[in-house]
Amino acid sequence: MGTAAIEVRNLDKRYGGVHALKSINLSFEKGKVCALLGENGAGKSTLIKILSGIEQPTGGEILIDGKEIKISNPLTAQHYGISTVHQEPMQVMAISVAENIYAGRLPKNKLGMVDYRKLRRQTSELMEKINIRLDPDQLLSELSIAQRQLVEILKAISYDAKVVIFDEPTSSLTKEETKTLYEIIRMLHERGITIIYVSHRMKEIYDLCQEAAVLRDGRNVFEGRIDKISQEELIRNMVGRNMGQLYPKIEIQPGKKVLEVKNLTSDYVKDVSFSLREGEILGLSGLVGAGRTEVARALFGIDSYKGEMILDQKAIHISSPDEAISKGIVLVPEDRKSQGLVRILDIRKNIGAVDMRYHHKWGFLMQRDEEKTVSDLIERLNVKTPSAYQIVDNLSGGNQQKVVFAKWLTKTPRVLILDEPTRGIDVGAKAEIYSIIGELVRGGIGIIMISSEMPELIAMSDRILVMREGTCAGIVDRSDFSEHTLINLALKGGTA
């Protein structure tokens, strides 16, 4: 074992009655890329918050280079060379890239005003160091999430960080952006910087990391070299039980045609045609921005469109979500926080937002029926909550996603569109979502599933439609599935 960059001994954290970290002992070896794994609620974020100075531990010690230190706030963390790239970067959108990186320590001229030339030069030099190309003067609000993460990374390096913590950095990145991030992480690694990498994606971890530490229920249950442990074993460590198969693909003979779409054209997509059968999962693949979500938006009546839609042998035209829902076409949207849920309301009101369509008499809610529907769904989808009156924001990501599903299952839909149904949720919840999806197709509905996670799409779909620049680049049958084929189509559109 080499020397530890950061070591924690008997680290303990209690929030009131909740024991979030139970006497953890971990060491992150200097110059290594270490994966930090665990289900949501396992204590990962607590540990990160403590290491970045946002929270204080209730017991135990933190050692940097063998010396005990106290990280009392984020500034001290930076002082000790610990920088964190947060999942959802906390940045000021209305100021430039350079100003964000050097906020609080902008170079000044003799008059005490900001020396923008120097600032620009500093930023460019910083970018050259790790081969990032961004315009220092561009406003943050004009950048994509991936670019904003790069700004976070630049900021981390500008502090001369010895340890950089990445908290689920790829959860909203495209494949290409993820690649860039990999390169940067490798570059940081070559410069001898220690990296703590939090992710739910197994493939990434095996690609990038040398070490792994697993937390479960506030304890560390595994620590060691990643090439010594198989993926199955790692998952078993995380969830504390045998996962079985992660993707329970159910073989169903697709039934009759549910939906047929011909030449769907909106402001964002052009001439997309496909059909969907009962019990079938049609995957929608392609790069972010290729028009996958936009197909869903048109089908659900959010964007207006031209083209034909035939639902159960009847030609329909959908001009609003209200209309789509009453025809049985529903959407689990991409961003559950902003589109799927009212986070300040409880589970019942969230599910009731849709359920009230079916359970009312002259506009009056049918309380009993609603209560029963809600509690049945909570049970059926195994939403972990003390009651139906729990505020949704208090639930974990996976449980929040189940509530979004529940909204659309108060009445069985004909066509269920899933946009990134497992984004940002942990392995255990993912498996549960997959089995819900399986149960639904067995019930004979048609599912359209958009996903950026190739393995998920390949495992779950019967056919995959690949989008490229707003058009359909091709539809691939299950027998021809491979990442290679799909990526080829997404990039070049040629048949592989």
388 near other proteins, rule: CB under 8 A? yes
Give least dist CB 94 to other proteins, A: 19
Contact with other proteins (CB under 8 A) among 94, 338, 479, 494:
338
> By CB under 8 A, which span of 73-81, 178-186, 232-240, 357-365 interacts with other proteins?
357-365
Residue with tokens 């792994």: 212
Instruction: State which of positions 300-319 bind other proteins (CB under 8 A).
Output: 300, 302
Tokens 């497992």 locate to 422
The yes or no reply on residue 365 touching other proteins (CB under 8 A) is yes
Using CB under 8 A as the criterion, what x/- string covers residues 14-53 for binding other proteins?
Answer: -xxxx-x-------------------xx-x--x-------
Q: Give the three-class secondary structure for 316.
A: strand
Using the minimum distance from each CB to other proteins, give the nearer residue, 104 or 364: 364
For residue 447, the SS3 value is strand
Q: What angle do CA 292, 293, 297 make, to 5 degrees?
A: 125
* HSE-up (13 A, CA, CB side) for residue 285: 34
Residues 6+ apart with CB under 8 A from 268: 291, 294, 297, 298, 303, 470
How far, in Å, are 87, 166, 293, 338, 484 from residue 420 at the CA level? 17, 22, 9, 14, 21
Q: Is residue 51 within 8 Å of 27, Cβ to Cβ? A: no
- Whether residue 150 contacts residue 90, with contact meaning beta carbons closer than 8 Å, is answered with no
Question: Residue 339: what are its φ and ψ, rounded to 5°?
Answer: -110, -25
181, 212 in Cβ contact below 8 A?
no
Among 356, 459, 487, 491, interactor with other proteins by CB under 8 A: 356
Question: Which of residues 291, 333, 446, 470 is near other proteins by CB under 8 A?
Answer: 333
Of these, 72, 342, 483, 495, which contacts other proteins (CB under 8 A)?
A: 342
Out of 357, 442, 443, 482, name the contact with other proteins by CB under 8 A.
357
Count of residues near other proteins by CB under 8 A: 56
Structure tokens at 157: 């390096």
Residue in 175, 236, 262, 343 binding other proteins, rule: CB under 8 A? 343
Which residues, in sequence order, are CB contacts of 146 under 8 Å at separation 6+?
172, 173, 174, 177, 180, 181
Cα distances from 496 to residues 317, 484, 486, in angstroms, run: 35, 8, 8
CB-CB contact of 310 with 299 (8 Å): no
Amino acid at 231: Q
Given the complex with other proteins, which of 17 and 104 has the nearer CB atom? 17
| Smaller CB separation from other proteins, 41 or 81 | 41
435 binds other proteins (CB under 8 A): no
- The residue from 252, 345, 475, 491 that contacts other proteins (CB under 8 A) is 345
Neighbours of 173 (CB within 10 A): 18
Segment lying near other proteins (by CB under 8 A), choices 63-71, 175-183, 257-265, 355-363: 355-363
Touching other proteins, residues 197-226 (CB under 8 A): 218
75 or 342: CB nearest other proteins: 342
Nearer to other proteins, 47 or 151 (CB): 47
Q: Does residue 90 touch other proteins according to CB under 8 A?
A: no
Does 386 interact with other proteins (rule: CB under 8 A)?
yes
Question: Is residue 281 within 8 Å of residue 447, measured between CB atoms?
Answer: yes
CB 353, min distance to other proteins, A: 4
- Quick one: which of 315, 305, 323, 324 has its CA closest to 260? 315
- Among 280, 346, 420, 453, indicate the residue that binds other proteins (CB under 8 A): 346
Smallest distance, Å, CB 48 to other proteins? Answer: 12
Task: Give least dist CB 367 to other proteins, A.
Answer: 7
Q: Applying CB under 8 A, which part among 106-114, 137-145, 384-392, 458-466 lies near other proteins?
A: 384-392
Six-digit token string for 233: 């074993």
Does 389 contact other proteins by CB under 8 A?
yes
Residue 200 is encoded by which pair of tokens? Answer: 């739910």
Question: Residues interacting with other proteins, by CB under 8 A?
Answer: 15-18, 20, 40-41, 43, 46, 218, 300, 302, 320-322, 324-326, 331, 333, 338-346, 349-350, 352-354, 356-357, 360, 363-365, 367, 371, 374-375, 378-379, 385-389, 391, 393-394, 396, 407
